[in-house]
Amino acid sequence: MKPGFDKSDLSFRAAIRRSLVAATKGGVAEVWRVLNSIDAFSFALPLDSGGLDLGEPAIIHVVEELGRLACSTPFMEFVDSLMCAADQGTRRELALLLQHDEPVGVVDLEAASSCPTNGDRHPVCRLNGFAMHQRCPVAARVLVRHHTKQGTSLHIASSGMTGFEVAAVHDAWGSGYGHVTLENAELARIGVFRNSAERSARVQIRQAGYLVGLSAGALEHAAAHANARHLFGRPLVDQQSVAFRLASLAARISAARLLVHRAASEPPGEELERLALQSLLLASVVARDTGQVTMQLHGSGGLLSTSQASRFYMMISIERNRMESALELSHRVGKLYLGQVQTPRDSRPEPDCELLGAVQ
């Protein structure tokens, strides 16, 4: 395990940051094009699948920078689909979507459906469903991941298709969130998706990395405001109560980042699942606290719809509850941790006490 980042890691992250900073001025569509131009979608794919085989930490660097810039794109979802495509045919279909110089939306729906069972590779499915605050811009092509008890199938929808609609969330920043509606939409299935415990852990780690990025971006704005705002004739950051809180958040964000990269480097197994839950829990709690401190430092100005503090607070509130709440994660981490503690059977606490102790 590496205790930190070497020069190559820092140079890699700096290069990604420079590319994305310039792209954010052009909105979500430009960010997607830049990600495609640097082959970010192929960073973690193995060489025999046409990828660069840079490993999961390379993906984490990208999602951290996306979070730091408060940019909401379906990058993580599309990478997840490429990595977990059940066969090479499905992967080729997904790669074709990247050849167009346009963003591709990705939505997850546990929708009602009816599909013909004629054995055709591209059967037409009739889907119904609704999802809010998906990381899905209004795009010409949208990848719909249809989750059922039998598994997950992948479908392609196009803007203007009957029964399908992506309504952008209206905000002052063009955040990239969308409300997705399917009403008897007939979509062709392009392949299937392979779910596994490792896939769930990787998704949790990427989400943790995104939350770490959001925390870092929010802290940068909080620190800039604390240096520019003066109170009693000196900068706000010179007040001990402010400086100590910002310093504490900076240390916790660094700790969360190290844990996320530690988890991303872990091979498949029980340790990966434990580290994934721990990193997501820590990143979620740190993001919550950073968002709150950022809003408090900005005062009433932070409540304005055009405020960057408001933007980070809103995105943190959405993203930290996208999978599980901090309380649910605390329960799961507590179970995993207490299950590894060796205590005599006669002194083992009751199950309810174990959970209560983990949450406290």
| CA pair distance 218, 213, nearest whole angstrom | 9
What's the pLDDT band for 147 if we cut at 50, 70, 90?
confident
Q: Is the pLDDT of residue 279 over 90?
A: yes
User: Who has greater pLDDT, 158 or 251?
Assistant: 251
pTM attached to this predicted model: 0.89
What's the pLDDT band for 4 if we cut at 50, 70, 90?
low
CATH code of the region 103-194 = 2.40.110.10
Q: Is the pLDDT of residue 174 over 70?
A: no
| CA pair distance 319, 135, nearest whole angstrom | 10
Q: What is the largest CA-CA distance in the chain?
A: 76
What per-residue confidence (pLDDT) applies to 178?
83
| CA pair distance 31, 37, nearest whole angstrom | 10
| CA pair distance 253, 211, nearest whole angstrom | 10
Q: Is the pLDDT of residue 346 over 50?
A: no
Amino acid 39 reads D
Domain boundaries, the chain: 103-194, 197-359
Q: Hey, what long-range contacts does 351-358 have (CB within 8 A, 24 or more apart)?
A: 355/331, 358/330, 358/331, 358/333, 358/334
DSSP state of 350: P
Q: Give the lowest-confidence range in 188-192, 289-293, 314-318, 342-346.
A: 342-346
CA 354 to chain centre: 30
Q: Which helix (H) or strand (E) holds 182?
A: strand 177-193
Mean predicted lDDT score pLDDT of the chain: 86
> Pairing mode, if any, of strands 104-109 and 124-135?
unpaired
Q: Which residues contact 119 (CB under 8 A, 6 or more apart)?
A: none
Asked whether the beta carbons of 188 and 307 are under 8 A apart, the reply is: no
| CA pair distance 143, 189, nearest whole angstrom | 10
- DSSP secondary structure string for all residues of 97-136: HHTSSS-EEEEEE--EEE---S--SS-EEEEEEEEEEEE-
Superfamily of domain 197-359: Butyryl-CoA Dehydrogenase, subunit A, domain 3 (1.20.140.10)
With H, G, I as helix, E, B as strand and everything else as coil, classify residue 73.
coil
With CA atoms as reference, report the closest residue to 283 among 294, 275, 271, 272. 275
Q: Which helix (H) or strand (E) holds 79?
A: helix 75-84
Write the pLDDT tens digit of every residue in 82-107.
999 988 899 999 999 998 878 888 88
DSSP state of 60: H
